[in-house]
Chain A
Amino acid sequence: MPHDHDHHDDPHALLPPEPALRVKALETLLTQKGLIDPAALDEIIDTYENKIGPRNGARVVARAWCDPDFRAALLENATAVVSDLGFYGRQGEHMVAVENTDAVHNMVVCTLCSCYPWPLLGIPPGWYKSDAYRARAVREPRKVLADFGVVLPENTAVRVWDSTAEMRYLVIPMRPAGTEGMGEDALMELVSRDSMIGTGLAVQP
Protein backbone atom coordinates (compact mmCIF):
# COMPACT_ATOMS: atom_id res chain seq x y z
CA MET A 1 0.00 0.00 0.00
CA PRO A 2 1.48 3.38 -0.91
CA HIS A 3 2.13 5.53 2.07
CA ASP A 4 1.93 9.29 2.54
CA HIS A 5 5.17 10.13 4.15
CA ASP A 6 5.33 12.84 6.77
CA HIS A 7 8.38 11.55 8.66
CA HIS A 8 11.20 12.51 6.38
CA ASP A 9 13.71 12.09 9.17
CA ASP A 10 12.90 8.38 9.38
CA PRO A 11 15.57 6.33 7.63
CA HIS A 12 13.17 4.29 5.50
CA ALA A 13 12.05 7.57 3.90
CA LEU A 14 15.40 7.54 2.07
CA LEU A 15 14.01 4.69 -0.02
CA PRO A 16 11.08 4.79 -2.47
CA PRO A 17 7.70 4.93 -0.68
CA GLU A 18 6.18 2.11 -2.74
CA PRO A 19 7.03 -1.06 -0.78
CA ALA A 20 7.68 -3.22 -3.84
CA LEU A 21 10.25 -0.68 -5.03
CA ARG A 22 11.62 -0.30 -1.51
CA VAL A 23 12.36 -4.04 -1.31
CA LYS A 24 13.97 -3.95 -4.72
CA ALA A 25 16.12 -0.94 -3.86
CA LEU A 26 17.28 -2.52 -0.62
CA GLU A 27 18.03 -5.88 -2.23
CA THR A 28 20.00 -4.16 -4.98
CA LEU A 29 22.02 -2.10 -2.51
CA LEU A 30 22.85 -5.06 -0.26
CA THR A 31 23.73 -7.21 -3.25
CA GLN A 32 26.07 -4.52 -4.58
CA LYS A 33 27.73 -4.33 -1.17
CA GLY A 34 28.31 -8.08 -1.25
CA LEU A 35 25.95 -8.78 1.66
CA ILE A 36 23.11 -10.59 -0.06
CA ASP A 37 23.02 -13.51 -2.45
CA PRO A 38 19.73 -13.21 -4.39
CA ALA A 39 19.80 -16.99 -4.88
CA ALA A 40 19.72 -17.38 -1.10
CA LEU A 41 16.58 -15.24 -1.00
CA ASP A 42 15.01 -17.54 -3.61
CA GLU A 43 15.91 -20.51 -1.43
CA ILE A 44 14.36 -18.96 1.70
CA ILE A 45 11.18 -18.18 -0.21
CA ASP A 46 10.99 -21.68 -1.65
CA THR A 47 11.39 -23.11 1.85
CA TYR A 48 8.39 -21.26 3.26
CA GLU A 49 6.26 -21.43 0.13
CA ASN A 50 6.76 -25.10 -0.63
CA LYS A 51 8.68 -27.04 2.00
CA ILE A 52 7.66 -25.95 5.50
CA GLY A 53 3.95 -25.60 6.25
CA PRO A 54 1.06 -26.78 8.40
CA ARG A 55 1.17 -30.35 7.13
CA ASN A 56 4.16 -30.81 9.46
CA GLY A 57 1.99 -29.94 12.44
CA ALA A 58 -0.84 -32.09 11.11
CA ARG A 59 1.54 -35.07 11.09
CA VAL A 60 2.36 -34.46 14.75
CA VAL A 61 -1.30 -34.13 15.76
CA ALA A 62 -2.43 -37.20 13.83
CA ARG A 63 0.32 -39.27 15.41
CA ALA A 64 -0.62 -37.99 18.87
CA TRP A 65 -4.19 -39.11 18.20
CA CYS A 66 -3.05 -42.61 17.20
CA ASP A 67 -0.18 -43.28 19.57
CA PRO A 68 -0.70 -42.75 23.34
CA ASP A 69 3.03 -42.97 24.10
CA PHE A 70 3.82 -40.37 21.44
CA ARG A 71 1.08 -38.14 22.81
CA ALA A 72 2.40 -38.43 26.36
CA ALA A 73 5.95 -37.65 25.21
CA LEU A 74 4.71 -34.70 23.14
CA LEU A 75 2.89 -33.19 26.09
CA GLU A 76 5.94 -33.76 28.28
CA ASN A 77 8.67 -32.46 25.95
CA ALA A 78 7.37 -31.25 22.60
CA THR A 79 10.69 -29.83 21.40
CA ALA A 80 12.45 -33.20 21.62
CA VAL A 81 9.55 -35.07 20.03
CA VAL A 82 9.08 -32.79 17.04
CA SER A 83 12.86 -32.58 16.58
CA ASP A 84 12.92 -36.35 16.14
CA LEU A 85 10.48 -35.88 13.27
CA GLY A 86 12.75 -33.26 11.67
CA PHE A 87 10.52 -30.34 12.65
CA TYR A 88 13.03 -28.30 14.62
CA GLY A 89 14.25 -24.93 13.36
CA ARG A 90 13.92 -21.19 13.26
CA GLN A 91 10.95 -19.96 15.33
CA GLY A 92 10.39 -23.44 16.73
CA GLU A 93 13.33 -23.78 19.09
CA HIS A 94 11.20 -24.10 22.23
CA MET A 95 7.94 -25.94 21.64
CA VAL A 96 5.04 -26.67 23.97
CA ALA A 97 2.02 -28.75 22.92
CA VAL A 98 -1.30 -27.99 24.62
CA GLU A 99 -4.24 -30.32 24.31
CA ASN A 100 -7.88 -29.39 23.85
CA THR A 101 -10.42 -31.28 25.94
CA ASP A 102 -14.11 -30.97 26.74
CA ALA A 103 -13.06 -28.78 29.69
CA VAL A 104 -10.46 -26.48 28.07
CA HIS A 105 -10.05 -25.02 24.59
CA ASN A 106 -6.60 -23.59 23.86
CA MET A 107 -5.95 -20.76 21.44
CA VAL A 108 -2.66 -19.06 20.51
CA VAL A 109 -1.90 -15.42 19.73
CA CYS A 110 1.04 -13.04 19.78
CA THR A 111 -0.32 -9.66 20.83
CA LEU A 112 3.07 -7.91 20.63
CA CYS A 113 4.13 -9.08 17.16
CA SER A 114 3.48 -12.34 15.30
CA CYS A 115 5.34 -15.19 17.04
CA TYR A 116 4.30 -18.52 15.55
CA PRO A 117 5.74 -22.06 15.34
CA TRP A 118 7.24 -21.88 11.84
CA PRO A 119 8.73 -25.40 11.56
CA LEU A 120 5.33 -26.93 12.36
CA LEU A 121 2.89 -24.49 10.76
CA GLY A 122 4.93 -22.46 8.27
CA ILE A 123 4.72 -18.70 8.21
CA PRO A 124 1.63 -17.25 9.88
CA PRO A 125 -1.57 -16.49 7.96
CA GLY A 126 -2.52 -12.88 7.33
CA TRP A 127 -5.21 -12.86 10.00
CA TYR A 128 -2.79 -14.10 12.68
CA LYS A 129 -0.63 -11.03 12.01
CA SER A 130 -3.61 -8.66 11.81
CA ASP A 131 -4.34 -5.93 14.35
CA ALA A 132 -7.85 -7.34 14.80
CA TYR A 133 -6.63 -10.77 15.91
CA ARG A 134 -3.79 -9.43 18.05
CA ALA A 135 -6.06 -6.91 19.78
CA ARG A 136 -9.15 -9.06 20.27
CA ALA A 137 -7.98 -12.65 20.88
CA VAL A 138 -7.02 -12.03 24.50
CA ARG A 139 -10.07 -9.94 25.48
CA GLU A 140 -12.86 -11.62 23.54
CA PRO A 141 -11.64 -15.01 22.30
CA ARG A 142 -15.16 -16.36 21.95
CA LYS A 143 -16.18 -13.56 19.61
CA VAL A 144 -13.02 -14.17 17.60
CA LEU A 145 -13.85 -17.87 17.45
CA ALA A 146 -17.27 -16.90 16.13
CA ASP A 147 -15.52 -15.07 13.26
CA PHE A 148 -14.16 -18.54 12.35
CA GLY A 149 -17.59 -20.16 12.76
CA VAL A 150 -16.58 -21.89 15.99
CA VAL A 151 -18.97 -21.94 18.95
CA LEU A 152 -17.81 -23.71 22.12
CA PRO A 153 -20.03 -25.40 24.70
CA GLU A 154 -20.83 -23.09 27.63
CA ASN A 155 -18.93 -25.32 30.07
CA THR A 156 -15.70 -25.28 28.05
CA ALA A 157 -13.16 -22.75 29.35
CA VAL A 158 -10.96 -20.85 26.90
CA ARG A 159 -7.26 -20.59 27.63
CA VAL A 160 -5.51 -18.09 25.37
CA TRP A 161 -1.71 -18.36 25.13
CA ASP A 162 -0.07 -15.01 24.37
CA SER A 163 3.36 -15.86 22.91
CA THR A 164 5.35 -13.18 24.72
CA ALA A 165 8.64 -15.15 24.82
CA GLU A 166 10.39 -17.63 22.49
CA MET A 167 8.13 -20.47 23.60
CA ARG A 168 5.97 -21.58 20.67
CA TYR A 169 2.66 -23.30 21.20
CA LEU A 170 0.98 -26.02 19.17
CA VAL A 171 -2.64 -26.81 19.92
CA ILE A 172 -3.64 -30.46 19.71
CA PRO A 173 -7.29 -30.32 18.68
CA MET A 174 -9.81 -32.88 19.90
CA ARG A 175 -10.03 -35.95 17.72
CA PRO A 176 -13.39 -35.97 15.93
CA ALA A 177 -15.89 -38.63 16.93
CA GLY A 178 -16.31 -41.57 14.61
CA THR A 179 -12.66 -41.65 13.46
CA GLU A 180 -11.60 -44.65 15.55
CA GLY A 181 -10.76 -46.83 12.56
CA MET A 182 -8.79 -44.21 10.65
CA GLY A 183 -5.02 -44.36 10.24
CA GLU A 184 -2.50 -41.55 10.69
CA ASP A 185 -2.39 -40.43 7.06
CA ALA A 186 -6.17 -40.20 6.80
CA LEU A 187 -6.40 -38.40 10.13
CA MET A 188 -3.87 -35.80 8.96
CA GLU A 189 -6.42 -34.60 6.43
CA LEU A 190 -8.75 -33.67 9.28
CA VAL A 191 -6.17 -31.46 10.99
CA SER A 192 -6.55 -27.94 9.66
CA ARG A 193 -3.98 -25.24 10.27
CA ASP A 194 -6.51 -23.20 12.22
CA SER A 195 -7.26 -26.17 14.50
CA MET A 196 -3.58 -26.16 15.54
CA ILE A 197 -3.74 -22.44 16.39
CA GLY A 198 -7.02 -22.97 18.21
CA THR A 199 -9.21 -20.83 15.98
CA GLY A 200 -10.68 -23.94 14.39
CA LEU A 201 -11.68 -27.48 15.24
CA ALA A 202 -10.54 -30.64 13.53
CA VAL A 203 -12.68 -31.49 10.51
CA GLN A 204 -15.51 -33.91 11.13
CA PRO A 205 -15.22 -36.53 8.33
Chain B
Amino acid sequence: MSRLHDMGGRFGDGPVQPEPENVRFHADWHPRALALTLAAGSLGQWNLDASRHARERLAPTDYATFSYYEKWLGGLVTLLLETGVVTEAELAGTVDPAPSPLAGRKLQAQQVAEVLAKGGPVDRPSDVAPIFALGDVVVARKFAENARVSGGHTRLPAYAAGARGRILRLHGSHILPDSNAHDLGEAAEPLYAVAFPASELWAHPEHPDDEVVLDMWQSYLGVAQ
Protein backbone atom coordinates (compact mmCIF):
# COMPACT_ATOMS: atom_id res chain seq x y z
CA MET B 1 0.00 0.00 0.00
CA SER B 2 1.08 3.51 -0.62
CA ARG B 3 1.49 6.53 1.62
CA LEU B 4 -0.09 9.92 1.09
CA HIS B 5 3.08 11.52 -0.26
CA ASP B 6 2.88 9.18 -3.24
CA MET B 7 0.26 11.32 -4.99
CA GLY B 8 1.22 11.23 -8.67
CA GLY B 9 -1.91 10.80 -10.78
CA ARG B 10 -4.35 11.36 -7.92
CA PHE B 11 -7.75 12.82 -8.83
CA GLY B 12 -9.55 15.71 -7.21
CA ASP B 13 -6.92 18.41 -6.76
CA GLY B 14 -7.76 21.87 -8.01
CA PRO B 15 -5.93 24.19 -10.37
CA VAL B 16 -2.22 24.89 -10.01
CA GLN B 17 -1.69 28.49 -8.89
CA PRO B 18 1.25 30.16 -10.69
CA GLU B 19 3.17 32.77 -8.75
CA PRO B 20 5.76 35.46 -9.53
CA GLU B 21 9.42 34.56 -9.62
CA ASN B 22 10.39 36.90 -6.79
CA VAL B 23 8.22 35.08 -4.22
CA ARG B 24 10.56 32.91 -2.17
CA PHE B 25 8.60 32.19 1.00
CA HIS B 26 4.96 32.57 2.04
CA ALA B 27 5.34 33.24 5.76
CA ASP B 28 8.05 34.67 7.99
CA TRP B 29 8.69 31.33 9.67
CA HIS B 30 9.19 29.39 6.40
CA PRO B 31 12.79 30.46 5.77
CA ARG B 32 13.58 29.75 9.43
CA ALA B 33 12.15 26.23 9.12
CA LEU B 34 14.18 25.62 5.96
CA ALA B 35 17.41 26.89 7.52
CA LEU B 36 16.86 25.00 10.77
CA THR B 37 16.34 21.76 8.85
CA LEU B 38 19.49 22.25 6.77
CA ALA B 39 21.60 23.24 9.77
CA ALA B 40 20.36 20.28 11.83
CA GLY B 41 21.01 17.95 8.89
CA SER B 42 24.62 19.10 8.76
CA LEU B 43 25.15 17.53 12.20
CA GLY B 44 25.46 14.31 10.19
CA GLN B 45 23.11 12.18 12.28
CA TRP B 46 20.86 11.16 9.36
CA ASN B 47 21.00 11.07 5.59
CA LEU B 48 18.77 12.65 2.95
CA ASP B 49 16.82 9.44 2.39
CA ALA B 50 16.08 9.08 6.10
CA SER B 51 14.89 12.68 6.22
CA ARG B 52 12.50 12.10 3.32
CA HIS B 53 11.21 8.97 5.02
CA ALA B 54 10.67 10.88 8.27
CA ARG B 55 8.33 13.30 6.44
CA GLU B 56 6.57 10.48 4.64
CA ARG B 57 5.92 8.73 7.95
CA LEU B 58 3.83 11.58 9.32
CA ALA B 59 0.36 10.36 10.23
CA PRO B 60 -1.88 10.60 7.14
CA THR B 61 -4.10 13.22 8.76
CA ASP B 62 -1.01 15.33 9.50
CA TYR B 63 0.47 14.83 6.04
CA ALA B 64 -2.79 15.91 4.45
CA THR B 65 -3.28 19.02 6.57
CA PHE B 66 0.27 20.22 7.31
CA SER B 67 1.67 22.95 5.11
CA TYR B 68 4.94 22.20 3.34
CA TYR B 69 7.33 23.44 6.00
CA GLU B 70 5.20 22.01 8.80
CA LYS B 71 5.95 18.63 7.25
CA TRP B 72 9.64 19.49 7.33
CA LEU B 73 9.39 20.40 11.00
CA GLY B 74 7.44 17.25 11.80
CA GLY B 75 10.09 15.13 10.09
CA LEU B 76 12.88 17.03 11.82
CA VAL B 77 11.43 16.45 15.29
CA THR B 78 11.09 12.72 14.54
CA LEU B 79 14.72 12.50 13.43
CA LEU B 80 16.04 14.50 16.39
CA LEU B 81 14.30 12.13 18.80
CA GLU B 82 15.09 8.90 16.98
CA THR B 83 18.79 9.74 16.81
CA GLY B 84 18.82 10.83 20.44
CA VAL B 85 19.98 14.33 19.59
CA VAL B 86 17.20 15.69 21.80
CA THR B 87 14.96 14.01 24.37
CA GLU B 88 11.20 14.12 24.70
CA ALA B 89 11.57 15.94 28.01
CA GLU B 90 13.74 18.60 26.37
CA LEU B 91 11.19 19.02 23.59
CA ALA B 92 8.35 19.25 26.06
CA GLY B 93 10.33 21.79 28.09
CA THR B 94 10.04 19.81 31.32
CA VAL B 95 13.83 19.72 31.85
CA ASP B 96 16.63 22.16 31.15
CA PRO B 97 18.35 21.38 27.81
CA ALA B 98 21.59 19.43 28.29
CA PRO B 99 24.68 20.46 26.33
CA SER B 100 25.07 18.13 23.33
CA PRO B 101 28.18 16.02 22.64
CA LEU B 102 27.61 16.94 18.99
CA ALA B 103 28.16 20.66 19.64
CA GLY B 104 31.55 20.47 17.92
CA ARG B 105 29.75 19.66 14.68
CA LYS B 106 27.61 22.80 14.81
CA LEU B 107 27.38 24.53 11.44
CA GLN B 108 29.05 27.93 11.75
CA ALA B 109 27.88 30.94 9.76
CA GLN B 110 31.19 31.20 7.94
CA GLN B 111 30.91 27.54 6.81
CA VAL B 112 27.48 27.90 5.20
CA ALA B 113 28.55 28.97 1.71
CA GLU B 114 31.10 26.18 1.49
CA VAL B 115 28.74 23.49 2.78
CA LEU B 116 25.93 24.46 0.41
CA ALA B 117 28.33 24.68 -2.54
CA LYS B 118 29.82 21.29 -1.73
CA GLY B 119 26.48 19.46 -1.85
CA GLY B 120 26.19 15.74 -1.31
CA PRO B 121 26.73 13.70 -4.47
CA VAL B 122 25.21 10.21 -4.37
CA ASP B 123 26.92 8.49 -7.30
CA ARG B 124 29.09 5.63 -6.08
CA PRO B 125 31.11 2.79 -7.53
CA SER B 126 29.04 -0.39 -7.49
CA ASP B 127 29.59 -4.11 -7.81
CA VAL B 128 26.22 -4.34 -9.52
CA ALA B 129 26.71 -4.24 -13.29
CA PRO B 130 24.04 -2.67 -15.49
CA ILE B 131 21.90 -5.36 -17.08
CA PHE B 132 19.81 -3.05 -19.28
CA ALA B 133 20.85 -1.08 -22.35
CA LEU B 134 19.30 1.96 -24.00
CA GLY B 135 16.04 1.02 -25.71
CA ASP B 136 15.45 -2.14 -23.68
CA VAL B 137 11.84 -2.71 -22.68
CA VAL B 138 11.48 -3.16 -18.93
CA VAL B 139 8.67 -3.55 -16.45
CA ALA B 140 8.54 -1.79 -13.09
CA ARG B 141 8.11 -3.84 -9.93
CA LYS B 142 4.52 -4.78 -9.14
CA PHE B 143 4.52 -3.27 -5.65
CA ALA B 144 5.49 0.36 -5.02
CA GLU B 145 6.91 -0.72 -1.68
CA ASN B 146 10.28 -1.17 -0.10
CA ALA B 147 11.35 -4.75 -0.91
CA ARG B 148 13.21 -5.28 2.38
CA VAL B 149 11.45 -3.14 4.98
CA SER B 150 7.67 -3.30 5.30
CA GLY B 151 6.33 0.23 5.08
CA GLY B 152 9.85 1.44 4.39
CA HIS B 153 11.09 4.17 2.09
CA THR B 154 11.04 3.74 -1.66
CA ARG B 155 11.21 6.04 -4.66
CA LEU B 156 9.02 3.91 -6.88
CA PRO B 157 5.70 5.77 -7.23
CA ALA B 158 2.52 3.71 -7.17
CA TYR B 159 1.35 5.04 -10.53
CA ALA B 160 4.30 3.41 -12.30
CA ALA B 161 4.26 0.07 -10.44
CA GLY B 162 3.86 -2.82 -12.87
CA ALA B 163 4.07 -0.53 -15.90
CA ARG B 164 6.10 -1.22 -19.01
CA GLY B 165 8.64 1.32 -20.22
CA ARG B 166 11.90 1.61 -22.10
CA ILE B 167 15.39 2.54 -20.97
CA LEU B 168 16.14 6.11 -22.02
CA ARG B 169 19.37 6.84 -20.13
CA LEU B 170 21.83 5.17 -17.80
CA HIS B 171 22.79 7.64 -15.06
CA GLY B 172 25.57 5.53 -13.53
CA SER B 173 25.34 3.91 -10.11
CA HIS B 174 23.65 5.75 -7.26
CA ILE B 175 22.93 5.09 -3.59
CA LEU B 176 19.72 3.06 -3.20
CA PRO B 177 17.31 5.07 -1.02
CA ASP B 178 15.36 1.93 -0.04
CA SER B 179 18.48 0.73 1.77
CA ASN B 180 20.13 3.99 2.82
CA ALA B 181 17.02 5.42 4.49
CA HIS B 182 17.07 2.52 6.95
CA ASP B 183 20.79 2.50 7.70
CA LEU B 184 21.16 -0.74 5.75
CA GLY B 185 24.05 0.60 3.72
CA GLU B 186 24.34 2.68 0.57
CA ALA B 187 23.91 -0.37 -1.68
CA ALA B 188 24.64 1.61 -4.85
CA GLU B 189 23.29 0.13 -8.05
CA PRO B 190 22.64 1.28 -11.64
CA LEU B 191 20.09 4.04 -12.03
CA TYR B 192 18.16 4.57 -15.26
CA ALA B 193 15.78 7.09 -16.75
CA VAL B 194 12.83 4.98 -17.91
CA ALA B 195 10.25 6.37 -20.32
CA PHE B 196 6.66 5.19 -19.92
CA PRO B 197 4.01 5.98 -22.53
CA ALA B 198 1.13 7.86 -20.90
CA SER B 199 -1.15 5.12 -22.22
CA GLU B 200 0.77 2.62 -20.09
CA LEU B 201 0.08 4.62 -16.92
CA TRP B 202 -3.39 6.11 -17.32
CA ALA B 203 -6.74 4.85 -18.51
CA HIS B 204 -7.40 8.20 -20.20
CA PRO B 205 -4.13 9.69 -21.42
CA GLU B 206 -4.33 13.23 -22.75
CA HIS B 207 -2.36 12.54 -25.93
CA PRO B 208 -1.11 9.33 -27.60
CA ASP B 209 2.49 10.60 -27.86
CA ASP B 210 2.93 11.82 -24.28
CA GLU B 211 5.38 10.12 -21.93
CA VAL B 212 6.42 10.20 -18.31
CA VAL B 213 10.07 9.57 -17.49
CA LEU B 214 11.03 8.26 -14.05
CA ASP B 215 14.45 7.60 -12.60
CA MET B 216 14.51 4.00 -11.43
CA TRP B 217 17.09 1.83 -9.79
CA GLN B 218 17.89 -1.50 -11.39
CA SER B 219 16.22 -3.46 -8.60
CA TYR B 220 12.95 -1.65 -9.39
CA LEU B 221 12.97 -3.15 -12.87
CA GLY B 222 12.47 -6.50 -14.50
CA VAL B 223 12.77 -7.75 -18.06
CA ALA B 224 9.50 -7.32 -19.92
CA GLN B 225 8.06 -10.66 -21.02
CB proximity of A56 to chain B, nearest CB, Å: 12
A-B contact count (CB 8 A): 304
A141–B206 CB distance below 8 A: yes
B70–A19 CB distance below 8 A: yes
Task: Tell whether A148 pairs with B109 under 8 Å between CB atoms, given A7-B62, A165-B215.
Answer: no
Q: Which residues of A contact B52 (CB under 8 A)?
A: 112-113
CB contacts under 8 Å to B, within A21-55, are 22-27, 29-30, 32-37, 39-45, 47-49, 52-54
Chain A: interface size category:
35 or more
B86–A33 CB distance below 8 A: yes
Q: Which residues of A contact B207 (CB under 8 A)?
A: 142, 157-158
CB proximity of B29 to chain A, nearest CB, Å: 4
B33–A23 CB distance below 8 A: yes
A157–B209 CB distance below 8 A: yes
Total interface residues on B, CB under 8 Å, equals 108
Q: Which residues of B contact A89 (CB under 8 A)?
A: 116-119
CB proximity of A136 to chain B, nearest CB, Å: 6
Q: Which residues of A contact B32 (CB under 8 A)?
A: 23-24, 27, 41, 45
A174, CB-defined interface residue at 8 Å: no
B161, CB-defined interface residue at 8 Å: no
Smallest CB-CB separation from A21: which chain B residue? B29
B147, CB-defined interface residue at 8 Å: no
Smallest CB-CB separation from B115: which chain A residue? A90
Q: Which residues of B contact A133 (CB under 8 A)?
A: 16
Task: Tell whether A44 pairs with B67 under 8 Å between CB atoms, given A20-B29, A91-B119.
Answer: no
Checking A53, A90, A127, A144 against B19 with a beta-carbon cut-off of 8 angstroms, the contacting residue is: A127
Q: Which residues of A contact B (CB under 8 A)?
A: 1, 3, 6-7, 10-12, 14-15, 19-20, 22-27, 29-30, 32-37, 39-45, 47-49, 52-54, 88-94, 96, 109, 111-114, 119, 122-123, 125-127, 129-144, 147-148, 157-167, 192-194, 199
